[in-house]
Structures are given as C-alpha cells and as structure tokens.
Structure 1
C-alpha cells in the first residue's frame, strides 16, 4: 500500500507543481528544476523503479502543461 501512495505522489506532484511554479517564476526551466529538487527531497528513499518511472512521466506531463500555459499567457499579453 505504501508503494502505491509513493507512485501516485510521484505522478501527481509534478503535474500540479510545475505549472504553479511557472506562474510564480515566469520560467519553465527554473520550475522544472525546482520540481526535480523538491521531488528528490521528498522521495529520497526510492523503494522501486516504478516510482522513478512515474516521476519522469509526471515531469513530462507537467512540463507539457506548463508549455501550454505559457503559450496562452504569451498570446493573452501580446
């Protein structure tokens, strides 16, 4: 049960965290780096390879969403 919570957290955390940090820092690469640092701090004792795989999948989805948000903001303020 504990591993399922860890996998779920590794998937959901970057999806929520990266778009939020993009809105705060105004830089997608900084927000991705901060999200990776936060995830490493939280999941420092990785129990399975699936936590790493779902973390990478969550990071890629979060970065895609931040790219979409950036395009909408650029279009709105242009």
Structure 2
C-alpha cells in the first residue's frame, strides 16, 4: 500500500466498521473518521492490512457526499 490513503479505501473501511457494529443509523461520520485514522496510521507504519486493501463496495457511508449509508 502506498503512503496515500484514498477516499475509496476510507469508504470501504468505514462500511466494514459500520456493518461490524450492527449498521447503526447516524454514525456515518464516526465510522468515516475512525476508518481514516486507522488507514493513515497503517500507512505511516507501512502496515498493509487486508482491511486497508480490500475492494471498494458501493453503499458505504461517506459523509462528504451523503447523509449516511444507502438503503434500497
């Protein structure tokens, strides 16, 4: 993994955290910020965890473009 953390990586990790925590409503920013911290820390130490490199999934919480996870 490069030292740059992409928005897609953050989105993917935030979705994983949201799902692991039972998909609570209104916690999108909390999970986004947690994902960003985790990925930046991993990048700074050169740790390439599976969570940081996993594929992007649609519907992830992204506070910069929506108010929460998508519902179908």
TM-score of Structure 1 vs Structure 2, range by shorter chain: 0.3 to 0.5
What is the TM-score normalised by the length of structure 2?
0.39
What is the TM-score normalised by the length of structure 1?
0.37
Between structures 1 and 2, the one with greater helix share: 1
Indicate the structure (1 or 2) with the bigger Cα radius of gyration.
1
